[in-house]
Amino acid sequence: MKVTAITGDITKIASDAIIVNLFEGVKSPGGATAAVDKALGGAVTKLIKSGEIKGKQGEMTLIHTMGKIKPAKVLVIGLGKKEALNHNVIRSVVAESCRYLRKTQVKEIATIVHGAGAGGIDAEKSAQAITEGAMLGLYTFRRHKSKKDENGDIEKVLIVTPDKQELSKLKKGCEKGRVLAEATILARDLDNEPGNYMTPTDLANAAQKVAADFGLECKIFEKKDIEKMGMGGLLGVARGSVQPPKLIVLKYQGGKRSKRTVGLVGKGLTFDSGGISIKPSESMGDMKGDMAGGAAVISAMRAIAELKPMVNVTAIVPATENMPSGSACKPGDVLKASNGKTIEVVNTDAEGRIILADALSYAHKLGLSPVIDIATLTGACHVALGDHYSGGFTNDQKLIDQVIKAGEEGGERIWQMPLHDDYKEANKSDIADVKNSGGRYGGAITAAQFLHEFIEDTPWVHIDIAGTSRSEKDKGAVVKGETGVIVRTLVNFVLSL
């Protein structure tokens, strides 16, 4: 599906449907909506007066034009209160609108530039939000379905402006929106694949394809390499699976003169049964998405390579399955991470932090700084924050402030959680340097404290996406299934540098 910007009169665009808007409480439409209203003989005004159109955020009213203008349908969408409008609202309402119109079997949509007039939104930002909203809102994962979607696909979205001087800004916004949306879609595709189609080897192959297509350096460390590197954590978790582990490393060199390299680390558990501490069977199938952090990091690297910021970035993804078998790691076992620290495994279902211990130690060894790690790490974070915020933990306040801001720009909310030394006590082991679970209470915090042991003094942010990596329903630019969350946050953060 292509999104592009053109100049013209939206009432004369030969599309199947057009999208216009209204703010809440407006009694008389203005701008392009007024032009459409006039061409339809005041139909929009009449619906406002009758109370059918109120302009509340997400409200949608479909009007059939009956040949009065070229487009067959007009969708009037509510933007909500003018003072609350931002690009996240635009992204959300455009996504909802495109899904609604797809059900009416349209193939081509034209839309005005939402918020760029009375809303005060920069035209480029509006075009970016419209592009992301359309592409992400219309996302479906149908790779393993034998029948086509009965609603078909929307093939094109046109952003129409009467102002020729505005066109270049709109096109720039469309291009950035496309890059960010396609990267998020890649993450969703990787996450949504069943475990038998997305093994550690498959994830490594996907990373190699991204590298080949977008000019990144890629190194895949095999099991024998991981053994030489002393990564006992990754090897310990992988022991129960017949699938060999991989350590995926992607490099982008954009800051030729810079000695600093940003590190992005993502958990790549392609399937998590819980190991010997096996999970309940209910919803275990969703654990194909336990690699969402790794998918986010790989996908963010694709977007970074396309947008070409003058920054150096290295991504590290430890990839494995966590399975029960005669050779699997057992509760009570002790593993040694690559930095020499020993880990008592008290729960094999707290495996993500064990493989991240080796990845973060490797990031520290490479001198990467700052480092951001992303992981579906704890059910405790999901319990604490629900489905709408990811949890953020840090040893550097200025750094997490930057990351949270980058998330807000991408519509991905992060709530800072505490990382006080008092919580370290829960991770103390009687027989090793640290144990891999601090117990039920404060579980997201003690998990972050565990990771902190392996990144040491490097400026670092840990983002727990256990509650945001998957959605049970369509809402705004998020669709049911894996969300691809944090891709846009990572890209925005790197661009901000």
Catalytic residues: 279, 353
Q: Give the orientation angle of helix 443-455 with respect to helix 352-366, to 10 degrees.
A: 30
Residues 222, 261, 216, 485, Cα dihedral to 10°: 80
Tell me, letter by letter, the H, E, C secondary structure of 254-292.
Answer: CCCCCCCEEEEEECEEEEECCCCCCCCCCCHHHHHHHHH
What is the distance of C-alpha 142 from the center of its chain?
19
Beta strands in 345-409 (DSSP E): 371-375, 390-394
User: What is the secondary structure of 188-223 as a DSSP string?
Assistant: HHHHHS-TTTS-HHHHHHHHHHHHHHHT-EEEEE-H
Radius of gyration of the chain (CA): 24
Q: Which helix (DSSP H) or strand (DSSP E) does residue 435 occupy?
A: strand 434-435
Beta bridge partners of 109: 17, 157
Distances (CA, A) of 142 to 100, 134, 136, 376: 19, 18, 15, 24
Rounded Cα distance, 286 and 421, in Å: 33
Contacts of 84 (CB under 8 A, 6+ apart): 57
What's the rounded Cα separation, in Å, for the pair 178 and 1? 10
* Alpha-carbon span 195 to 270, nearest angstrom: 6
- Sequence length of the chain is 497
Cβ atoms of 273 and 324 within 8 Å: the answer is yes
- Measuring CA to CA, how many Å separate 305 from each of 91, 156, 323, 484? 24, 25, 34, 18
Please enumerate in sequence order all residues whose Cβ is within 8 A of that of 282, keeping only pairs 6 or more positions apart, or say none: none
Residues 396, 397, 398, 401: what is their CA dihedral angle, to the nearest 10 degrees? 120
Tell me, what DSSP letter sits at residue 373? E
